[in-house]
Amino acid sequence: MELFSLKNKNALITGGTHGLGMAMAEALAIAGAKLLITGTTPHKMKDALAYYHSKGYDARGYLFDVTDETEAAKQVEKITAEASGIHILVNNAGIIKRESALTMPVSDFRKVVDVDLVGPFIISQLVVKQMIERKEGKIINICSMMSELGRNSVSAYAAAKGGLKMLTRNLATEWAKYNIQVNGIGPGYFATSQTEPIRVDGNPFNEFIISRTPAGRWGNPEDLAGAAVFLASKASDFVNGQIIYVDGGILATIGKPSNEE
């Protein structure tokens, strides 16, 4: 499986202290990568590193805000020096604020776009310089089904993720000549601590997601492992500017009538 091996590769995963970011980081570690994890919450970082180390993964943590351009530049320089380079970047850090577009404060809209779209641009711009020098690199932006669809109460998130989809394609266009591949993963609805309150029998939204998804279930975090390793490895060397939607088939279908089995 040498084509998918990440041995001797350093992977920087923003927001890799919990949830889907942690699941993808673990997949990269299993494939052989050394983990460089960013976060903003000290106790989450402590717990995440304890977990990674308990599994025998080589992991280091760095606390900073990806939207702070000055601090991000200092931290990327530090990470690069300590790890001897960054080969893989996963722009996973993100937030969501659920509120009607009619009443959402503009400050909240700006905050979501700043974290979910401007943050990936800042980190990509900082990290790509060493990739260009090395003539090799992988950048994976974590988009969303909301890069393609709309839904009530997530206008800022959908706008940011739609922008991230197009940023992915534009960076791929500019940086392909340096043997750098920039792609995205668009997760569907996943079983995480954030969705736990609504993933109960009888909850209308839970029933909606299960019926709307051809696979008939919520995604498990480990379902992202294959896409993450593929896009981080040599197996995807001629794949560029693409978004892989890991959604159980939601985007492939218009749905089914309520009385259809």
**211 within domain boundaries:** no
Mention every residue, 6+ apart, whose C-beta is less than 8 A from residue 10.
33, 34, 36, 83, 84, 85, 86, 87, 88
- Residues with catalytic function: 157
Q: What is the pLDDT of residue 257?
A: 67
**66 within domain boundaries:** yes
Nearest to 80 by CA among 147, 29, 34: 34
**230 within domain boundaries:** yes
Q: What is the pLDDT of residue 245?
A: 98
Q: Which tens digit of pLDDT belongs to each residue from 205-236?
A: 999 999 999 999 999 999 999 999 999 999 99
Nearest to 162 by CA among 176, 179, 141: 141
Give residue 122's domain range.
2-190+221-248
**208 within domain boundaries:** no
> What end-to-end distance do the CA atoms of the chain give, in Å?
40
**185 within domain boundaries:** yes
**154 within domain boundaries:** yes
Q: Sheet with 137-142: list strands edge to edge.
A: 59-63, 34-39, 10-14, 88-91, 137-142, 180-187, 243-246
**196 within domain boundaries:** no
Phi-psi category of 56—alpha, beta or left, where left has phi over 0 and alpha has psi -120 to 50? Answer: left
Q: Which tens digit of pLDDT belongs to each residue from 78-130?
A: 999 999 999 999 999 999 999 999 999 999 999 999 999 999 999 999 999 99
Domain count, the chain: 1
Euclidean distance between CA atoms 60 and 247, whole angstroms: 30
Euclidean distance between CA atoms 198 and 200, whole angstroms: 6
Q: How confident is the model at residue 193 (pLDDT cuts 50, 70, 90)?
A: confident
Mention every residue, 6+ apart, whose C-beta is less than 8 A from residue 160.
94, 112, 113, 115, 116, 117
Q: How confident is the model at residue 261 (pLDDT cuts 50, 70, 90)?
A: low
**CATH number, domain at 230?**
3.40.50.720
Instruction: Give the predicted TM-score (pTM) of the model.
Output: 0.96
For the chain, what percent of residues have pLDDT higher than 90? Answer: 91
Phi-psi category of 86—alpha, beta or left, where left has phi over 0 and alpha has psi -120 to 50? Answer: beta
**261 within domain boundaries:** no
